[in-house]
Amino acid sequence: MEFSGLDLNTVIQTLTKILPILVGVLVGSLALQFVLYQFLHKVVKTKHALPYTLLAPAAIAIVAFLLYPLGYNTLLAFSELKRSTFPCYSPVAIGECELTHLYGLDYGFANFRDVFFRVRDGEILGWGRLLRTADSTFPVLLQRTALWTGLNVIFHFTIGLGLALLMNQKIRFKGIYRSLIVLPWAIPSVITALTWKQEFHAQYGFVNVMISSFGGQPISWLDDPVLAFVAVVFVNVWLGVPFYMVMLLGGLQSIPADFYEAAHIDGANARQSFWTITLPMLRPIIIPAVTLDVIWTFNKLDIIFIISGGGPQEKTNILVSALFNAAFGPAATQQLGFAAAFSIVIFFILFIFAVIWITSSGGLKEIYDR
Amino acid sequence: MNTRKSSNQITLGLGAVLALVGLILTFVNQMNWFWFMAGAWLGLLVWQPTHWVLVSYSIISVYPVLRVISISLRPTANLLSRSLAIIPPNATFESYVVLFLEEEFLLWIWNSFSITMVVASVGVIVASTGAYAFSRWRFPGRRPALIFLLTTQMIPAGMLIIPIFVIVAQLQLTNNIIGLMLAYIATAIPFSIWILKGYYDTIPPDLEEAAMVDGCNRLESFWRIILPLSTPALSIVFLFNFLGSWSEFIVAKVILQANSTQTWPLGFNEMIGTFSTDWGKYAAGSVIVTIPVLLLFLWQSRYLISGLTLGSVKG
């Protein structure tokens, strides 16, 4: 009995895969904790036996599913892994392998060099091509990533703050507005992206129907590099505003009304009290929110990938989407060794930026200082 | 006070006039309600600018949802209509029926659902005790571990996808939902610990101390007092992990390549690929997939928002 691709057999098959995993995780972590506690408490005799025991399952999962892949990624950056050499790297060697060694500093050097420079016969010809077009070089992509992140964060923040300020007044229908504005958050982002993609369709999309009903010429949004970039930024702004609105509204509601009354008595106008009361009081919320948003936006891949695919002419790629296209893109040769090196470079750019930002703003201090 | 009142009356009058003009234009243009809505919209701008901004933004927020619902109700014959009406003429549920009959929709949903349930449950189980340790004890290595959890947020997706793709291929788990689960669990755990630690921090330690005076040991007090008190946070973490992997697209695209094991985001993307024919099916599917999530979200939204604020921000 099959309906819509699903039959009883498939269900049973999946369940026999899943249930052992769930039971195994539960029983396994309990057993592990028991043994580990006995060991730490009675053999090692540390006074921190209990917290280490409680942490053990999470630590194991993080090591296995996060640290191990990250370490392996670093190893891959020092390899010559691509589609043609894939068999060499599989545990069961299939077919011939022309590589003399699998990992080496020479591969690593070449991979990292290729991220930045195009070299032939030991001579630097210019910036390295990360994708197929000559324009997809490191500085161009870095610039575009900065523009993407900057535009998104600025619009997220200003629109979110504006809406939060409006909602913080005594107005009717507050609950309704709040639910409606938070809605984009609840919709699966794949659906958001695919739906907006259609709205930018040259003929049937909402934007062009509006333009042509006022007598204008329809614009083919996704065929023009600049307009395609506008489109992806628009969608991501739309997606990110609710987060700020909710966070900032929460912050605004926690500012005591006395502050404003005192300022009013002292003769401050609305603008002065905004700059001297509202913004400083919101600081503990604004800084972590902006920090998280910068990190998320910098790494945001799915919107660009689904809506423009990095195109036209690879001109809406940011660093992370270029990375994805280099590794798994439609016409890629799966140069995984090179892509692994590229991913490490991207991570360190963001990491260095984040360290500078966090230490200078004191942003996320309170999170681990407690 | 008087001037404010009278200016309010003036703007109200102006707004009403604008709406009326819109209504007249509607009658003139063969009952095209677009004109009335435009008039009412401008009227609201004059009368209540605050509400005008909020209403306009709400419309922008909700618009894609309405649009998808509207397309899903269109009869196949005029799927590609340029009409912007919310309830199309001759609305039918044809697309919904076709979706189930022509696509393997239930299979996609089942795959997504089973992956999501495992990831969300494992995330909660593993994170609940780990976060408790971070919240209540000062042990050597705590600070670096917390900073490490913070740093995991900065890892670009590609940095994990590449090694996981290779590992999964080596373990021959390509096209197997287990491979995808491993990838999702990796990203779910740090965030779960983060949020739960934030929540545990807000529960006063006095509660456990009182329980321990009454004869509970540390673990009993965690089990009997902290866990029940944290039900909202645990359900938030479950929900976040659920939402995160429910609609994940990129990793799934890399790991699942066969048609026999697809999650719904992959299936939907394929339907969109053949744009003209499958638009209706896509829209119907979106509605079905979104409504449960939306209900869950609206029902939990108060917890959800407070949970996020607690976990990431509150000092």
Contact by Cβ (8 Å): B114, A14: yes
Q: Are residues A68 and A157 in the same domain?
A: no
A245 part of a folded domain: yes
* B223 inside 8 A of chain A by CB: no
Verify that A47 and A179 share a domain, yes or no.
no
pLDDT at B312: 43
pLDDT score for B238: 85
Residue A327: inside a domain, yes or no? yes
Domain enclosing residue A47, as ranges: 2-77
Q: Which of A77, A109, A129 is the last residue of a domain?
A: A77
Q: Is A67 in CB contact (< 8 Å) with chain B?
A: no
Yes or no, beta carbons of B111 and A302 under 8 Å apart = no
Collect all residues of chain A within an 8 Å Cβ-Cβ radius of residue B290: 186-188, 191
Angle at Cα B244 formed by Cα B105 and Cα B54, nearest 5°? Answer: 100
Burial class (CB within 10 angstroms; exposed 0-12, middle 13-18, buried 19+) of A99: middle
Q: Which domains does chain B have, with CATH numbers?
A: 2-97 (no CATH), 99-312 (1.10.3720.10)
Task: Say what the pLDDT of residue A146 is.
Answer: 93
Chain A residues lying within 8 Å of B279, measured CB to CB: 198
Tell me whether residue A187 is in a domain.
yes
Q: Is B165 on the interface with A (CB under 8 A)?
A: yes
CB of A232 within 8 Å of a chain B CB? The answer is no
Convert the pLDDT of each residue in A31-43 to its tens digit: 888 888 888 888 8
Q: Is the same domain home to A313 and A175?
A: yes
User: Residue B98's pLDDT is what?
Assistant: 81
Q: In this complex, do A162 and B312 lie within 8 Å of one another by their Cβ atoms?
A: no
- Which domain-ending residue is among A24, A42, A77? A77
Query: How far is the C-alpha of B45 from the C-alpha of A180, rounded, in Å?
Result: 19
Claim to verify: residue A63 and residue A151 sit in the same structural domain:
no
| Chain B residue with the nearest C-alpha to that of A254 | B314
Give pLDDT, residue A331: 58
Query: Which of B81, B161, B289 is nearest residue A188 as measured by Cβ atoms?
Result: B289
Contact A190, B289 (CB under 8 A): no
Please give the residue that has the higher pLDDT: either B281 or A233: A233
A55 chain-B contacts, CB cut-off 8 A? 129-130, 133-134, 145
Task: Answer yes or no: is A169 within a domain.
Answer: yes
In angstroms, the CA B39 to CA B28 distance is: 14
Is A28 in the same domain as A148? no
CA-angle at B66, arms to A312 and B267, nearest 5°: 55
- Residues A146, A26 within the same domain: no
Average pLDDT along chain A? 83
More confident residue, A64 or A151: A151
Do A228 and A147 have their domain in common? yes
Q: How confident is the model at residue A370 (pLDDT cuts 50, 70, 90)?
A: very low
Residues in A touching B245 (Cβ below 8 Å): none
Q: Which of B35, B80, B162 would best serve as a mutation to test chain A binding (most A beta carbons within 10 A)?
A: B162
Q: Is the pLDDT of residue A189 over 50?
A: yes
Please tell me whether residues A168 and A261 are part of one structural domain.
yes
Give the B window 242-301 contacts with A, CB below 8 Å: 243, 246-247, 249-250, 253-254, 265, 268-269, 272, 275, 279, 282, 286, 289-290, 293-294, 297-298, 301
Q: What is the pLDDT of residue A252?
A: 87
Does residue A115 form part of some domain?
Answer: no
The size of the A-B interface in CB pairs under 8 A is: 311
Residues in chain B, pLDDT under 70: 1-5, 31-32, 77-86, 258-260, 273-277, 300-315
Burial class (CB in 10 A: 0-12, 13-18, 19+), A321: buried
Q: Which helix (H) or strand (E) holds A220?
A: none
Q: Where are the alpha helices (DSSP H) in B137-205?
A: 142-152, 157-170, 177-201
Peptide bond into A312 cis (omega under 30): yes
On the 0-12 / 13-18 / 19+ scale of CB atoms within 10 A, B279 is buried
- The pLDDT, as a whole number, for residue B205 is 84
Q: Mind listing the pLDDT tens digit for each residue in A285-318?
A: 888 888 888 988 998 888 898 888 877 877 888 8
Looking at the fold, whether A65 and A147 belong to one and the same domain comes out as: no
Of the listed ranges A315-329, A347-361, B287-301, the least confidently predicted one is: B287-301
Contact list in B for residue A159 (CB cut-off 8 A) is: 57
A17 touches chain B (CB under 8 A): yes
* Contact residues on chain A for B84, CB-CB shorter than 8 A: 206, 209
Q: In chain B, which among 13-42 make CB contacts under 8 A with chain A?
A: none
A291, part of any domain: yes
Does residue A97 form part of some domain?
no
Q: How far apart, in Å, are the Cα atoms of A180 and each of A75, A175, B43? A: 47, 9, 22
Question: Residue A160: what pLDDT?
Answer: 93
Residue A58 sits in the same domain as residue A155 = no
Domain boundary among A77, A97, A122: A77
Quick one: how many helices (H) and strands (E) in chain B?
15, 0
Contact B280, B93 (CB under 8 A): no
Residue A104 counted as domain residue:
no
The CA distance from A94 to the nearest CA of chain B, in Å, is 12
Answer yes or no: do A6 and B110 touch at CB < 8 A. Answer: yes
The minimal CB distance from A25 to the residues B125, B165, B169 is found for B125
Of the candidates B71, B84, B213, B193, the residue with the CA atom closest to the CA atom of residue B135: B193
CATH number of the domain encompassing residue A330: 1.10.3720.10
Report yes or no: B279 and B81 within 8 Å, Cβ to Cβ.
no
Whole-number pLDDT of residue A325: 84
Domains of chain A: total: 2
Provide the percentage of residues in chain A whose pLDDT is more than 90.
14
Nearest Cα of chain B lies from the Cα of A16 at a distance, in angstroms, of 11
Same domain, A143 and A71: no
Q: Which of B72, B155, B236 to probe the A interface (max A CBs under 10 A)?
A: B155
Residues A160, A269 within the same domain: yes
Q: Which is more confidently placed, A166 or B176?
A: A166
Residue of chain A whose alpha carbon sits nearest to that of B259:
A5
Per-residue pLDDT, B4? 64
Percent of chain A past pLDDT 70, that is, above it, reads: 91
* Closest CA of chain B from A124, distance in Å: 27
pLDDT of residue A232: 92
Per-residue pLDDT band at A237 (split at 50, 70, 90):
very high
